[in-house]
Amino acid sequence: MSNEQTFIAIKPDGVQRGLIGPIISRFEQRGFKLVAMKLVSPSRELLEKHYSELADKPFFPGLLSYMLSGPIVAMVWEGRDVVKTGRAILGATNPLASAPGTIRGDYAIDVGRNVCHGSDSVENAKKEIALWFNENEIQQYKHSQFDWIYEKP
């Protein structure tokens, strides 16, 4: 399915460190299609929902203050197997365990400052996209590169 979607976010450290362009470029150059993007300062309530599975973790309060520390670039990227491939482009949760060539492996050191987020399953991607975006913020268009990227739709 070339219309699978994932939620990718550039966290406050990624924005402050001037990594918006390089992070977007990795998804663009791979051939994925950008279908939504905004610079936002999400509420604590939204972030508590976004990270609800981690609410019991000792690092949860620190994670929330990190995510509230500045604007975030929220995006939806579309393409074949984009959820799993997006995670591969990001690298491991702990940047020190991320291979060079991945975003976290190239730009981060600390797990609590790992510059980007990506959905970990198709089901969670759907939930996260619905949490961060209204339906009318998601664009539908034919990517001019489509026929050069995919052998078959």
Binding partner of residue 31 among ligand GDP, Mg ion, none, CB cut-off 5 to 8 Å per kind: none
3 marked as part of a ligand binding site: no
Output the six-digit token pair for 58: 């000792």
Residue 85 binds to ligand GDP (criterion: CB under 6 A): no
| Per-residue CA distances from 58 to 39, 54, 92, 94 (Å) | 28, 9, 20, 16
- 104 labelled as ligand-binding? yes
Instruction: Show the binding pattern over residues 101-120: x = contacts ligand GDP (CB under 6 A), - = does not.
Output: ----------xx-x--x--x
Query: Does residue number 33 form part of the binding site for ligand GDP (CB under 6 A)?
Result: no
Q: Restricting to residues 98-137, name those near Mg ion by CB under 5 A.
A: 120
Q: Which of 79, 108, 117, 129 is catalytic?
A: 117
Residue with tokens 């966290």: 11
Q: Is 150 in the site for ligand GDP (CB under 6 A)?
A: no
- Backbone phi, then psi, for 135, in 5-degree steps? -55, -35
81: helix, strand or coil: coil
Catalytic residue at 50?
no
Report angle CA 115, 120, 125 to the nearest 5 degrees. 100
> C-alpha angle 124/120/94, rounded to 5°?
140
Site for ligand GDP in 52-81 (CB under 6 A): 54, 59, 62-63
* Residue 93 is assigned to a ligand binding site: yes
- In the annotated binding site for ATP, the residues are 11, 59, 87, 93, 104, 114
